[in-house]
Amino acid sequence: MRLSPLTALIAGLVFGFGLLVSGMANPAKVLAFLDLAGAWDPSLALVMAGAIAVGLVGFRVAAGRERTLTGAALTLPTRRDVDRRLVVGGLGFGIGWGLAGFCPGPALVALGAGQGGALVFTVAMLAGMGVFELLESRRGTTDA
């Protein structure tokens, strides 16, 4: 039996619960965190802190392995260079995040919670990703 879809499903569920418990699935709370000049809600800094505290241990364990616990290939990103795409992409993402208070994970969780606005955001996000694929494939053909 292939375990990989099952473990991915469980990881997705736990990730989703984490977003719900932490309040990160609520765009109003995300915007309250990003609003330094208003009534600032620092909660989301602690979400990051909690996630990274556990992640530091998890990824330290992962870094010493070439195989997953079920024997599949385990590959960690190796790039260390900072290029223009990374910076421009990061800057653009922050603007979108600040406009609606949604980033990709919370949007999918809010979609599951039946929020119509999350559906609008998710469809637009998929369209944005589609535009990227289109630009990349064009780039690929001109490069070749």
Partner 1 sequence: MTIAWDQFTPFTALAGGALIGLAATALILFNGRIAGISGIVGGLLRPTRGDTTWRLAFVAGLVLAPLLWSLFARLPDIRIEAGTPLLIVAGLLVGLSTRYGAGCTSGHGVCGLSRLSPRSLVATACFMATGFATVFVVRHVVGG
Q: How far is the CB of 66 from partner 1 (least distance, A)?
A: 9
> Residue 57 CB, nearest distance to partner 1 (Å)?
7
In the complex with partner 1, which residue's Cβ is closer, 113 or 138? 113
What are the tokens at 114? 């039946």
Compute the distance between CA of residue 57 and CA of residue 48 in angstroms, rounded to an integer: 14
Termini Cα distance of the chain: 41
Minimum CB distance to partner 1 smaller for 11 or for 138: 11
Smaller CB separation from partner 1, 89 or 138: 89
Q: Smaller CB distance to partner 1: residue 28 or 142?
A: 28
| Closest CB 4 distance from partner 1, rounded Å | 5
Residues 63, 72: Cα–Cα separation, whole Å: 15
Q: Minimum CB separation from partner 1 for residue 14, in Å?
A: 4
Cα→Cα distances 138→33, 115, 134, Å: 38, 35, 6
Smallest CA-to-CA distance from 26 within 84, 122, 102, 94 is with 102
